[in-house]
A and B are shown apart, each in its own frame.
Chain A
Amino acid sequence: MRPLLEVSDLVKTYPVKRNLLGRVRERTTVTDRVSFTVERGETVGIVGESGAGKSTVGRLALRLIEPDSGSIVFDGRDVLGLSRAELREFRQRAQMIFQDPFSSLDPHMTIREAVGEPLTIHRGLKGMERDAAVTDLLARVGLRADQLDKYPREFSGGQLQRIAIARALATEPDFIVCDEPVAALDVSIQAQVLNLLIDLQRERGLAYVFVSHDLSLVRFLAHRVAVMRKGVIVEMGPTEQVFTDPQHAYTKTLLEAIPDPRAHFLGRRAEAGAVRAASAMVGTAKES
């Protein structure tokens, strides 16, 4: 079976200098011949530092921005050749979750309206039927029915991100691009959102592209990982392989730079095999 998503040789440039007549004299390349595939039910992590082009890749894959050249094939169809109507159908199946849930939800819409809107547009649901679907979705992400008529400002960051996930799920997508979905959240809340994403993947066979600067999160979540630098994928492979046996010098630099408290206190080396210091065993969690 073909992969769910195949992107090949994606190039995106932006103009940086124009001459007197407004003609572009110089362009900067933000992604340079980026190619990868995503299987059904798989998480592909894209890591890199700011300016590496990882968010651009996420947006290109959904055709939220148009590439200069290259191809995007989703479930066997050429995404760049889609008509307007076909593009709408594609958007139903391929969704996106952003870093800042507050700015991705309309402040004037209640949660019921925000999550209900895609149900009407993409699935034609109305009235009671729509309400029931909204309640189900929000219950799935852990919100109570009595919170449905509140506005985004009444929720915390973690709750808003869960609402944004519910909204993305409303169209019953196969594929979601998650662009730094927990970067703005507190540590204890991050885990709530990530667990939800993992559970949903298992339940619904969702495929994710998970864009993040946080290598330890990507290592935990992704099946395969692409390391980007200056618009180019410098290394891609199964997550454990990339993390334990990095081939590219830049990947090594990145990995060495992550503060790893486990390595620090348990004597565990991030790049070596499972070394578990005996001194680390300070007893198991129990209550007397």
Chain B
Amino acid sequence: MSIDVVGRLTSAPADAEPVLRIEGLSVDFVTDHGWTRVVDGIDLSIPAGSVVGVVGESGSGKTVTSLAAMGLLPSATSKISGSIRVAGRELVGMTDRELADVRGTEVSMIFQEPRRSLDPAFTVGSQIAEVVRRHERVGRKAAWARAVEMLDAVGIDDATRRADAYPHEFSGGMCQRVMLAIAMVCRPKLLIADEPTTALDVTVQAQMLDLMREVQQQFEVAILFITHDLGVVAQMCDAVNVMYAGQVIESAPVEDLFLSPQHPYAQGLLDAIPDHRDRSAPLQAIAGAVPAPWDWPDSCRFAPRCPHAGPECDAGPVPLAGAAAESTRAVRCVRANDLVLEGITG
């Protein structure tokens, strides 16, 4: 399967409003160290109908970014600044009620552990129908019919009968299909998938990824795909944003990221994919560990772990060069122009 990245990215008119446009998004949380910035100036946009990945390690801010895009961060313990526009509507500053209207119809989300997201006390059919009834003026019967139709669309056999089953009667992979049905039943324009296959076995993961591709095309939905797994990114995404310590450090069409990355951290992630062809060489590790948010340096945040770091890297904050919204590539590295990184090899 090959993905025509360029074709997909250029198929939409250049001035068309992207499905998701995040500009200068920062999020602060209350921690033991007081108000702490955990997401710092994210710019990210997703053209209609495309699949855009966000990769990063734990603590990079990828999940917080996605929760912000769903309007799901608790207002009492978090502060959001910047702009999040979903299908042209600004989410920052919306009331809870307005947000609840947007969720499901414009944007919806699936999570890592599908079983925890489903209510064990209700049949899966009723949990799908409930979403329809919340957003549309339809009767019980019509809503139920939509639920059955959706279960069928996500590949659940004998949907009429299975709609009456409870979550515990489904396997993990089947629960994730149900979650996808709930997410898609009101035809949102954007689906946020936060590590949707991480808890699944590899064969089930493959089926789920195929299904998401099908759903994406059938429903013409754009997907924000959050994962730590570069293999999944390679398979699923048209473009990808790499996050490190609360910032996007590189943004590129997926093939460019794998074949000619511009940020040393992106190269480090590629090197860490084990290559069985050269087993005499040690695995390439990135030295050190991801710093905690209160230990983030003002200058390049990756510099302490970077094999290419020089004195210029400590000079001050590094901007994301080549604004993500305009060009197809951007990188946050002062040495980007004089580094030649080899990308994935083997």
Contacts and interface: CB of A to CB of B under 8 A. Distances in A.
Contacts of A265: 234, 255, 258-259, 344
Given A188-B285, A213-B201, A261 B274 contact: no
A145 B238 CA distance: 47
Interface string A251-272: 0011011111110111010000
Interface of B is mostly: loop
B57 A187 contact: yes
A49 B201 contact: yes
B58 A186 contact: yes
B117 to A, nearest CB: 19
A280 interface: yes
A287 interface: yes
Contacts of A257: 202-203, 205-206
A240 B279 CA distance: 11
A141 to B, nearest CB: 13
B228 interface: yes
Nearest to B282: A195
Nearest to B199: A50
Given A156-B289, A189-B285, A264-B234, A215 B202 contact: yes
Contact of B275 (A50, A199, A262): A262
A287 B308 contact: yes
A163 to B, nearest CB: 14
Contacts of B202: 49, 213, 215, 254, 257-258
Contacts of B230: 187, 261
B272 A188 contact: yes
Given A216-B276, A259-B229, A285 B342 contact: yes
Size bracket of the B interface? 35 or more
Contacts of A221: 274
Interface in B221-240: 228-235
Contacts of B283: 190-191, 194-195, 220
Contact of B228 (A49, A186, A213, A276): A186
Contacts of B78: none
Given A187-B269, A254-B202, A280-B259, A198 B276 contact: no
Given A188-B268, A259-B229, A49 B203 contact: yes
A156 B59 CA distance: 12
Contacts of B229: 259
Interface string A167-207: 00000000000000000001111111011001100000000
A74 interface: no
A83 interface: no
Given A188-B290, A261-B231, A284-B342, 8 more contacts: A188-B272, A190-B283, A190-B285, A215-B202, A220-B276, A220-B279, A239-B276, A264-B234
Interface of B: 57-58, 201-206, 209, 228-235, 255, 258-260, 267-270, 272-277, 279, 282-287, 289-290, 308, 338-346
